[in-house]
Amino acid sequence: MVSSTSIDWIFFDCFNTLIDDFDTSGHEAGLAPMYQVPVTAGLYQRIADVRADYHRWRLEYIAGKPHEQSLQERFRNLLVTYRPEADAALIEQIVMEMEVQFMECFPATLRLPTGVESMLQRWQGHVAMGVISNFFLADWPAKMLERHGLRQYFKFVIDSAECGKRKPGDAIYQLALEVAGNPAPERVLFIGDHLTNDAIAPQRLGMQSIYFDRSAERTSSSTAPPQIQSITHWDQLSPSSE
C-alpha cells in the first residue's frame, strides 16, 4: 500500500513494467528473424553470435549512458565495430532490413503482466500518471501502450528515442518533471523494473521509488537490496488514504 496523500504523480517505466516483452523469461527468441539478417548476408555464422555481439556492444556503448541511439544507429555501430571489413553499402542494407524485421516481430512478443490494468484503475483519479521509457524507436512506447489499451491512463509518455536522452541520465527525468508541471520531486513516485534507472536514479533526484522486482521470473533482473522498497506483483500496489 502507498499513501495517495503523499504523492501527486506516479511515473512508470514501460517495457517489462507496464508491458512485458519476449517470452516469460525474457529470452529474445521472438526476434530471431531480425538477428538472422546479418547471418543471411554472410557476416555471421549463427544468430547466437549476432545476439551476443549486440549485447556486448550495448553494455559497452549504451548501458548507463545519458544519450540514446536509434535502432538503426545501434545496428550500424554494431556492425562497424565487430565487422569493420564489411562493405558500407552492405551494412546499410542490413541495418534497414534489421529494423524492418524488428518492427514486424517485436509487437508479437508483447503482452500485459498480470494485474497491471486493475492496478492502473485503482490509481486513476487518486494521482496523475506518466511514462518514461528508454526505447530506440520514437513513439513506440506510446503506440504499444495504445495497442494494449493502457495509453488512456497516462498524461504523457516520454521515450528516449524521441527526446535523445535516456535513463539514468538526469535530463530525461527533469524533462518528465517539466512536462508534469514541475511538481516537487518528493511528491513523485517512480516505478519500474530496472534497479538503477527506475529506483536508484529517481531517488538521487529526490523522488520516491519502488522497484518492480522481476528476478523470480527473469534471470536478467536483479534482486531488490534491503534499502530499496520493492514489489513483485501489481496486486501489491494500491492507494491508501493514510
Residue 73 has pLDDT above 60, yes or no: yes
Residue 71 has pLDDT above 90, yes or no: yes
55 grid coordinates: 549485447
pTM exceeds 0.85: yes
Residue 88 has pLDDT above 70, yes or no: yes
Confidence class for position 160, pLDDT limits 50, 70, 90: very high
Confidence class for position 179, pLDDT limits 50, 70, 90: very high
Task: Provide the mean pLDDT of the chain.
Answer: 94
Mean pLDDT of all residues in 118-134? 97
Q: How far apart are CA 164 and CA 7, in angstroms?
A: 28
How much is the pLDDT for 26?
A: 60
240 grid coordinates: 491508501
Q: Is 231 helix (H, G, I), strand (E, B) or coil?
A: strand
> From edge to edge, which strands make up the β-sheet containing 188-192?
156-159, 128-133, 9-12, 188-192, 208-212, 230-231
How much is the pLDDT for 25?
A: 60
Confidence class for position 3, pLDDT limits 50, 70, 90: confident
Mean pLDDT of all residues in 65-80? 96
* pLDDT digit string, tens, across residues 4-39: 789 999 999 999 999 999 776 667 778 999 999 999
Q: How far apart are CA 194 and CA 211, in angstroms?
A: 7
Q: How far apart are CA 45 and CA 55, in angstroms?
A: 17
* pLDDT digit string, tens, across residues 180-220: 999 999 999 999 999 999 999 999 999 999 999 998 887 77
Residue 182: which residues within 8 A CB-CB, separation 6 or more? none
